[in-house]
Amino acid sequence: MSVIRFVGQTSREAMRQVRESLGDDALILANRHTEQGVEILAMADDAVEGMTASPSPSPAASSALEPSPSRAPSPSAALPAGEPPADGQALHAMSEQLLREMQDMRTLLAREQARHAPARDGRTRLRRLLREAGFGEALADDLLPALPAELDAAEGGDQDDERPLAWLQRRLAARLSVLEEEEAFFAPPGILSLVGPTGVGKTTTTAKLAARFVQRHGADRVALITTDSFRIGAHEQLRIYAEILGIPMHALAPDQPIDSLAPLLRGRRWVIIDTVGMSQRDHRIIEQIAQLQGGRVRVRMMLLLNAASQPETLEEVASRYRQAARAAGTELNDCLLTKQDEAGRLAPAFETILRHGLRLAFVSHGQRVPEDLALPDPRALAIQALATRSPLPLDEAPAAPRPRAMAGDLLGQGRRLSSALNGLRRGLTGFPDLEAAWDLAALPEELQAPRLDGLLEQAAARQARVATLWAPRRPMSGRDWTMPDLGLDARGHWLALPDLQHRQPPGQANRLARAAETQGVRVHLLPALPETEAWRWLSENEVIWSSQARGAQRVIHGGERRSLAELAALATPTNRVDARLGGRPCRVALSRLGVTAVPSRRREHADQTPLTAWFAELGDPESGKALGKRLWLTTCDHPEDAVPLLLSHLQAEGIAQQTRRAEQRLVELLPAQARPELRLLLAAGIAAQASHLDHVDDEAGRDLRAELLGLVGGRRRRRDTALLEALLTLFSARDAMRQLGAASREEIR
């Protein structure tokens, strides 16, 4: 048995040397960091196997082996010190015992090595991380299908570990619904009741909230109420806080309705009720909530959760109190997290809030009034929840995604759909308007047109459009409709609701004037050179524009009329940019050349406008295979101004085909009474949003794209097509969830 020493700059390099020399089954005896890097002591697996097969080890080998402290040799196998063996049986028995100890050590070391070795894919590593932090398998099953492919394929180096972890922190934070502005909580007048089990911190939290309100609106506008007549000194504790703040405090008996205190609360804008703490298993919870909701005044309720409680306790508290609220005819949707500073782990409380869809309004992290109360920071809470981890047992590994019961699967799907919808509402310009347009399809046909008029008018007022991409003024092949015009905002994002062509005035010049007057459009992306009146309008108003062109298009350069194809060799290369074409990556090599359009009867102002011809060579970034060429004419000469316009032209090429595909699917998905113009509006809007998600390359966009792709599974197809299908699926599922909610409210069984 020979032990070999391997040294590498990193642990990965040292392990590579071990595998190359001894194979994948090598036994790692020790590893440590040295000045040269990482040192690993290893031996071949067959060396130990050979020892196991040998009937008796050599004296040298026997003297090198010592029994492990974990298992002492049996008395029959041990030999008295200084006495030779009576026969070979005792020596053979001891050698077998020592070799068993060696095998046990080998197994132990192998388990330790497997535990610390990086997992081969990001999803497995994140599943282990979630388990070690205290999150459940159900949450892992909900989150991890949306892991971007490039993170799932990471090999586990230091940088690779950081990227999946950062993604997980973002996704947890995005799932957490929080109060974003303190003013939105304290501004509306009303009565707030704090409920929760004994010892959760309701009285101290009541004082903190009251102090915050007094700081904003004064002591003469707030009052306190206590229902706690059980604990000795409970009234006095809250009364001391009330005296310090200079506000009145009133007691409410268990059988006393809230309306009975109305004369004492007259003129008070904000009232906080500190309720008696009750175990989540106390049947009187329903009576307590019914007492608060029994009057004519609506009482808001907030559930207090102790961050330091056990997971089972938190789950039971949230479930029982929300059930009691529903039994009393109300809802309990807001919560406040207390004792964050005392929590050894934050993951159980975090997951409880997510699982029940609660909105986290505040986080309490100490006893000071009112300092130790803050608005929740979702990202900071996610980081804290993942930072405190307990290693899994050596013989336990995170389970693979589990087949779940239908109820659990439906709940998980509902959470994923809700998370995706919220992400789209935050990340896509005008997405709520697209949702509103979808809802119009369920109305009677005679109501759809006037409601659509109002929606389009309101959307135009809300959405800041800076550019319009014009579609060709002819019906699409095989269709009786023309592609709508698409709008872009200042960030270059497609707006959710396009411009239907039949709703626009006739003539290019009239459309340009309308876009400027009603939408403030300053840039136009045209399918061809403008006509005479339109060219004159563009020149007089100094509006930026670009148009697609063909190689046969004749222009003037150097005083000669020549085709753009002939002039391509004279163009000056500018830069290379990455884009997407047809749902796949594309490398765009750009060059430019100053030209003037050839005057004609249709373009008599052409010779007055200097233009820049832009030439694009498209290629596959991996194989280098040519994918085609594109030509444009623009009023922009500088790449910084022109390139965004050219890429918008390129990106829009796939939207028309996607619109055709979406329009066909909407015939199946929308009610039969949906008007054709509404169906076309939705098809173009959804196709534009799918295209944006396919092209976006910022952190939030990548996360949202991965989450949507996770909804439609792993079927291999073009990414833009998969995103289109995901959006259509999401809208359909949204309708289904609403119908289920309506059925639940009507108590349909």
CA distance 535 to 610: 12
Is 60 exceeded by the pLDDT of residue 605?
no
Whether 546 contacts 636, CB under 8 Å: yes
Three-state secondary structure call for residue 48: helix
Question: Residue 395 is encoded by which pair of tokens?
Answer: 């013989």
Higher pLDDT pick, 161 / 345? 345
Q: Poorest-confidence range of 22-36, 89-103, 165-179, 684-698? A: 89-103
pLDDT band at 438 (very low <50, low <70, confident <90, very high): very high
pLDDT of res. 59: 39
For residue 537, give the H/E element and its range: helix 532-540
Beta carbons within 10 angstroms of residue 573's beta carbon: 11
- DSSP assignment of 404-416: --HHHHHHHHHHH
- The letter for the amino acid at 167 is W
End-to-end CA distance of the chain: 72
Whether 130 contacts 140, CB under 8 Å: yes
Question: Residue 443 is encoded by which pair of tokens?
Answer: 């109305």
Where do the H-state alpha helices sit in 144-252? Answer: 149-152, 158-175, 182-186, 202-217, 234-245
Q: Poorest-confidence range of 227-236, 345-354, 460-469, 678-687? A: 227-236
Average confidence score pLDDT of the chain: 80
Strands 270-274 and 334-338 come out as: unpaired
Beta-carbon contacts of 339 under 8 Å, excluding residues fewer than 6 positions away, are: 200, 201, 306, 307, 308, 364, 365
Mean predicted confidence (pLDDT) in 477-502: 88
Is 50 exceeded by the pLDDT of residue 636?
yes
The full set of domains in the chain, from first to last, is 4-116 (no CATH), 122-175 (no CATH), 178-390 (3.40.50.300), 409-464+655-712+719-749 (no CATH), 548-646 (no CATH)
pLDDT of res. 406: 37
pLDDT of res. 742: 47
* Burial zone of 227 (CB within 10 Å; 0-12 exposed, 13-18 middle, 19+ buried): buried
pLDDT tens figures, 100-133: 666 666 666 655 555 554 445 678 888 888 988 8
pLDDT of res. 724: 92
pLDDT of res. 594: 94
Higher pLDDT pick, 594 / 708? 594
Beta-carbon contacts of 470 under 8 Å, excluding residues fewer than 6 positions away, are: 485, 524, 525, 526, 527
Question: Residue 168 is encoded by which pair of tokens?
Answer: 């997980």
Beta-carbon contacts of 10 under 8 Å, excluding residues fewer than 6 positions away, are: 37, 38
pLDDT tens figures, 509-529: 999 999 998 888 999 999 999
CA-nearest of 476, 489, 462 to 692 is 489
The sign one gets for the Cα dihedral 469, 470, 475, 481 is positive
Whether 292 contacts 272, CB under 8 Å: no
Whether 181 contacts 197, CB under 8 Å: no
Beta carbons within 10 angstroms of residue 727's beta carbon: 25
CA distance 493 to 692: 7
pLDDT tens figures, 637-690: 889 999 999 999 999 988 999 999 999 999 999 988 899 999 999 999 999 999
- Among 225-239, 250-264, 320-334, 674-688, which range has the highest average pLDDT? 674-688
Is 70 exceeded by the pLDDT of residue 363?
yes
Whether 593 contacts 625, CB under 8 Å: no
For residue 382, give the H/E element and its range: helix 378-387
274 — phi, psi (to 5°)?
Answer: -95, 105
204 — phi, psi (to 5°)?
Answer: -65, -40
Whether 423 contacts 707, CB under 8 Å: yes
- The letter for the amino acid at 617 is E
Q: Is the peptide bond before 370 cis (omega within 30 degrees of 0)?
A: yes
pLDDT band at 84 (very low <50, low <70, confident <90, very high): very low
Look up tokens 């950081």; give the residue.
162
Is 70 exceeded by the pLDDT of residue 138?
yes
- DSSP assignment of 250-289: EE--TT--GGGGGGGGTT-SEEEEEPPP--TT-THHHHHH
Mean predicted confidence (pLDDT) in 719-736: 88
pLDDT tens figures, 30-52: 777 777 788 888 777 555 555 44
pLDDT of res. 569: 93
Whether 683 contacts 698, CB under 8 Å: no
